[in-house]
Amino acid sequence: MTGNACVVGSGPNGLTAAIVLAKAGLRTTVYEEQPTIGGGARSAELTLPGFVHDVCSAVHPWAASSPAFATFPLAEHGLEWIQPPLPLAHPLDDGSAAVLAMPIEDTCARLGPDGAVYRRAIGPLARRWRELLPIIQQPLLRFPAHPWLLARFGALAFWPAAASARLLFRTEAARALFAGIAAHSVLPLEALGSAAFGWVLAIAGHAVGWPIPRGGSQSIANALASYFESLGGSIVTNHRIGSLDELGDAAPVLCDLTPRQFVAVAGSRLPARYRRQLEAYRYGPGVFKIDWALSAPIPWTAAECGRAGTIHVGGSLDEIAASERASAGTAASERPFVLVAQPSLFDASRAPAGKHTAWGYCHVPHASTEDMTERIESQVERFAPGFRARILARHTATPADLERHNANLVGGDITGGAQDLKQLVLRPTRLFYRTPLAGVYLCSSSTPPGGAVHGMCGFHAAETALRGIRNGLLTIATIALMAALLCAPGSAQQDPAQATKPPSTTEKWHFFIEETATPFTLVASGVNAAVSEATRSDPQYGVGGVALTKRFGAAVGDNITQNFFSDFVLASALHEDTRYIRKGPSHGFWSRFSYAVSRAFVTRTDAGERTTNWANLLGCGLQAGLSNAYYPPPSQTGRATAINWANSVAGSGFGNLFPEFLPDFKKWLKKHHL
């Protein structure tokens, strides 16, 4: 492996970016400020020994759907998903509960008169979740693979959640259920686009559920880290990066940071305009979070709540909307909307036998210092009388506490910046993952597609960085090709008069040397290596300086062996004259073109008669066979050898275009004084 890439921050996006870079062959190091890895996917004994709490994320429809995670063998690295019988329950004051069940039909059946509308709205989208997902998990300005599917989703998603719920649903239960899901947007439910979060999370619930990882969210980070290390990557914890200067000449550098911290680490390197854009980036409300150690499960009045991984505690649509409006303002709601997860009901590893954990938070104004403990617990008690009596211990976290635990949680904002329409489309700027600094990229949830544990920000950022490397190599290859055109001596071009004399074996040896030991061979091999690296053929070589050198060595080896067999050994044994006889400008372009390419298959005998170019065809075959001695193992199959053979024959044909046309080109340059 080669190259020297760095990732700042070990959140799910940082680790995903690191994996993509390591898979491409870059020697990659992740630096993490905290003593433990994982950012928003960490677990710890926050209350009492033996009680494992998720410090940030707990429930993972996005991780279970993630196209990036799907390409990693995370199960082999210890990640196991648990599906609670119900993804979500939403208790109501009359003792009943609305539910989101995985089979959409079950949800519809429970929604009574609103079931049909619900089915019509998202049934077709849920069926096409795997096609919809990549479209909404990329920058929204990119042309989508399925424009009509996106248009259909957009027609539902664009509206304010509160208005959508009131317009579409007649029952309080359906309205409340939708409002609670849409409140994951951390936007007022009157904001344009807030409905998108409600629909997309509901669809995910039907498609993949809202699962929890066995052992806690830390298992996600640990699986990503373990896979990354198996690829040769390394992670340094307790290491805060205060300035990009500390990373020396590492490239690419991917920053799992939000704009505010990025401005701090990039310092004066950033152009003023881009810096101003980042400084204008807006952060959203914060959260106040409580983790409970419990003597028994939460005693919900509605039985369905005991079967769900997530409970939305907040009552009606109007109450939830009021709570979210308050958190977008200056004072938190007296009756906050609370998101509760109860993982120990479905995962015994989270608490000592018979005991339980629960996780809950509500949205509060940005950087709020209000203590929400009493208000949150009152809300839970409202739907689960006797809850307080079961609390053995609690751990609370204000926005400031969360930010101390993870610098990305600016003012307690858990989504890496407000997710309003503008910042969903231009996140954090129109450059998305790129920055004006060469080789430096952003990969946190402040880039598309935004907050949650899915790694897609890191995935797209790393792909962007690798594209940058590939484009750089293609530019080098183009420049080298131009240089070759201008500097090449004309390869094996022969004077037709001289070529009429049958060549001796010694002359064939000289011809082989002349054909091989030219700067043109080196330049052509360099171009070959750069193109091979840019297109990632033979990916086992990786990318970077050493990989490029290996590819270059293999290309030179191919050149030497092919010329040796074709122009000397076989040409002598078969009495063939493989020198290229130029047709010249007295003929038309296509006649010259086809003649040059056909010389790979047709040549002359020493006596000057037309014959099949066995020396070239067999020489290319011998070269392809011999290349198995130095190509990486996956390229040593019969099929790979045959492709190599065909490529060599094609290369020898198209290579004849140089001796055919180069003299014309040089003449043209001279004529125009270039």
Ligand X SMILES: Cc1cc2nc3c(=O)[nH]c(=O)nc-3n(C[C@H](O)[C@H](O)[C@H](O)COP(=O)(O)OP(=O)(O)OC[C@H]3O[C@@H](n4cnc5c(N)ncnc54)[C@H](O)[C@@H]3O)c2cc1C
Q: Residue 340 or residue 473: which is nearer to ligand X going by CB?
A: 340
Are 357 and 294 within 8 A, CB to CB?
Answer: yes
Q: Residue 8 or residue 223: which is nearer to ligand X going by CB?
A: 8
Least Å from the CB of residue 58 to ligand X: 5
Q: Which helix (H) or strand (E) holds 173?
A: helix 172-182
CB atoms within 10 A of CB 638: 8
Q: Residue 11 or residue 297: which is nearer to ligand X going by CB?
A: 11
Nearest Cα neighbor of 462 from 446, 488, 444, 481 is 444
Are 417 and 281 within 8 A, CB to CB?
Answer: yes
CA distance 510 to 568: 9
Least Å from the CB of residue 95 to ligand X: 27
Q: Residue 211 or residue 526: which is nearer to ligand X going by CB?
A: 211
Least Å from the CB of residue 86 to ligand X: 16
Q: Residue 255 or residue 302: which is nearer to ligand X going by CB?
A: 255
226 CB burial (10 A radius; 0-12, 13-18, 19+): middle
Which tokens sit at 65?
A: 């759907």
CA distances from 226 to 11, 221, 498 (A): 14, 8, 66
Least Å from the CB of residue 558 to ligand X: 43
Least Å from the CB of residue 447 to ligand X: 8
CA distance 16 to 233: 12
Q: Residue 274 or residue 361: which is nearer to ligand X going by CB?
A: 361
What 3-state class would DSSP assign to 393? strand
Nearest Cα neighbor of 659 from 613, 588, 599 is 599
Are 88 and 205 within 8 A, CB to CB?
Answer: yes
CA distances from 349 to 214, 216, 298, 305, 354 (A): 7, 9, 18, 21, 11
Residue with tokens 């509308």: 117
Least Å from the CB of residue 409 to ligand X: 5
Q: Residue 11 or residue 428: which is nearer to ligand X going by CB?
A: 11
What 3-state class would DSSP assign to 567? helix
367 CB burial (10 A radius; 0-12, 13-18, 19+): middle
CA distance 131 to 417: 27
Least Å from the CB of residue 107 to ligand X: 20
Q: Residue 59 or residue 548: which is nearer to ligand X going by CB?
A: 59
Least Å from the CB of residue 88 to ligand X: 12
Helices (H) and strands (E) in the chain, counts: 27, 21
β-strand partners of 393: 293
**E strand segments, 251-355:** 253-255, 286-294, 308-313, 338-341
Q: With the C-alpha atoms ordered 539, 541, 547, 549, is the resulting torsion angle positive or negative?
A: negative
Least Å from the CB of residue 406 to ligand X: 5
Residue with tokens 């004529």: 671
- Contact residues: ligand X, CB under 6 A: 8-14, 31-34, 39-41, 56-60, 62, 240-241, 256-257, 261, 265, 287, 289, 361, 402, 406-409, 414, 416, 444-445, 451-453, 457
Least Å from the CB of residue 153 to ligand X: 20
Q: Residue 71 or residue 238: which is nearer to ligand X going by CB?
A: 238
Q: Residue 267 or residue 386: which is nearer to ligand X going by CB?
A: 267
Least Å from the CB of residue 140 to ligand X: 18
Q: Residue 9 or residue 285: which is nearer to ligand X going by CB?
A: 9
Q: Residue 39 or residue 215: which is nearer to ligand X going by CB?
A: 39
Least Å from the CB of residue 399 to ligand X: 10
Least Å from the CB of residue 119 to ligand X: 26
Q: Residue 241 or residue 480: which is nearer to ligand X going by CB?
A: 241
CA distance 594 to 592: 6
> What b-and-e string marks burial along 582-618, b requiring 16 or more CB atoms within 10 Å of the CB?
bbeeeeeeeebbebbbebbeebbebeeeebebbbbbb
Which amino acid appears at position 257 of this protein? L
Nearest Cα neighbor of 212 from 64, 12, 66 is 64
Least Å from the CB of residue 32 to ligand X: 5
Least Å from the CB of residue 34 to ligand X: 4
Q: Residue 58 or residue 351: which is nearer to ligand X going by CB?
A: 58
Q: Residue 445 or residue 603: which is nearer to ligand X going by CB?
A: 445
* DSSP-derived secondary structure letter, 24: T
Nearest Cα neighbor of 629 from 541, 558, 530, 569 is 558
